């Protein structure tokens, strides 16, 4: 009996191992899915700063764009298109007043990053073969660390505006 129980445990462990190591299958065109797997690239929060942005209106947020080493090198060398392996991260936070600035300046002066916004972390990853149908870029969005299902084309159809800059809006801020 104990042997059978042990065997069951081993079988389950092996099955888990197989499932966990299977590569994520790329979704078909326009399918709603996290586009390149469902994992946030490790260490992205320590990547170098490309630039910042501020969204007005409904979005009302403040953003940072970070790049992995491949991205930063390409940006600094003015290289277009971006090479495979490039990843650009876009982080967005709500845009809030810094209460302490009232005391410091005698008026509410400073506006800073508050809590992350919904869908606050987005990525573009370059793999010209895998994502050939969307300009060589995979798009992904995360909410609270969890992947959100987005229609690939909803990202791409807007980024197509900057096709001449390899679908990337953000310029490097030296
Ligand atoms: C309506 C147009 C629009 C849509 C839809 C859109 N983006 Fe963008 N995206 C922009 C603009 C404009 C910028 C540059 C300014 C900014 O960051 O707000 C940008 C910037 C980015 C950046 C930083 C690199 C760059 O191109 O500047 C990433 C990464 C990104 N978007 C990912 C995504 C993902 C993932 C989706 C889909 C979930 C998406 N975007 C949907 C317009 C769009």
Over 80: is that where the pLDDT of 160 sits? yes
Higher pLDDT, 111 or 33: 111
Residue 140 lies in a domain: yes
Residue of 59, 138, 169, 171 to mutate, ligand 1, most atoms within 8 A of C-beta: 169
Residue 59 lies in a domain: yes
Residue 109 lies in a domain: yes
Convert the pLDDT of each residue in 70-108 to its tens digit.
Answer: 999 999 999 999 999 999 999 999 999 999 999 999 999
Structure tokens at 2: 């104990």
Residue 171 lies in a domain: no
Q: Check residue 20 and give its pLDDT.
A: 38
- Of 7-11, 27-31, 142-146, minimum mean pLDDT range: 27-31
Q: Check residue 26 and give its pLDDT.
A: 41
Residue 17 lies in a domain: no
Residue 14 lies in a domain: no
Intra-chain end-to-end CA distance of the chain, in Å: 68
The whole domain housing 122 covers 26-165
pLDDT-based confidence at residue 31 (cuts at 50, 70, 90): very low
Ligand 1 mean position to 121 CA, how many Å? 11
Residue 116 lies in a domain: yes
Residue of 38, 74, 90, 113 to mutate, ligand 1, most atoms within 8 A of C-beta: 90
* Averaged pLDDT for residues 13-28: 42
Residue 18 lies in a domain: no
Q: Are 170 and 153 in contact (CB under 8 A)?
A: no
Over 50: is that where the pLDDT of 172 sits? yes
Q: Check residue 25 and give its pLDDT.
A: 40
Cβ-based burial of 23 (10 A; exposed 0-12, middle 13-18, buried ≥19): exposed
Over 70: is that where the pLDDT of 9 sits? no
* Averaged pLDDT for residues 144-173: 91
Higher pLDDT, 93 or 149: 93
> What is the count of structural domains for the chain?
1
Place of tokens 């007005």: 56
Torsion of CA 78, 81, 83, 89, to 10 degrees: 80
Structure tokens at 40: 């946030």
Give residues with Cβ within 8 angstroms of 47, minimum separation 6. 66, 67, 68, 71, 72, 89
- Of 23-32, 33-42, 91-100, 162-171, minimum mean pLDDT range: 23-32
- Indicate which CATH number applies to the domain containing 154: 3.50.70.20
Q: Are 115 and 95 in contact (CB under 8 A)?
A: no
Structure tokens at 53: 């942005």
Nearest 5 degrees, angle CA 173-CA 155-CA 91?
A: 45
pLDDT-based confidence at residue 152 (cuts at 50, 70, 90): low
Structure tokens at 30: 């326009």
């Amino acid at each position: 009996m104990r042997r059978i129980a042990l065997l069951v445990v081993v079988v389950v462990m092996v099955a888990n191992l197989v499932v966990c190591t299977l590569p994520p299958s790329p979704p078909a065109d326009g399918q709603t899915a996290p586009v390149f797997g469902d994992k946030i690239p490790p260490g992205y929060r320590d990547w170098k700063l490309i630039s910042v942005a501020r969204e007005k209106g409904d979005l009302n947020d403040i953003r940072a764009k970070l790049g992995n080493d491949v991205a930063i090198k390409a940006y600094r060398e003015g290289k277009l298109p971006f090479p495979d392996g490039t990843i650009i991260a876009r982080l967005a936070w709500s845009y809030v007043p810094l209460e302490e600035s009232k005391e410091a300046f005698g008026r509410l002066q400073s506006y800073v990053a508050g809590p992350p916004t919904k869908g606050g972390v987005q990525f573009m990853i370059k793999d010209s073969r895998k994502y050939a149908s969307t300009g060589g870029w995979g798009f992904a969005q995360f909410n609270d660390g969890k992947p959100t299902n987005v229609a690939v084309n909803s990202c791409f159809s807007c980024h197509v505006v900057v096709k001449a800059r390899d679908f990337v809006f953000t310029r490097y801020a030296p």
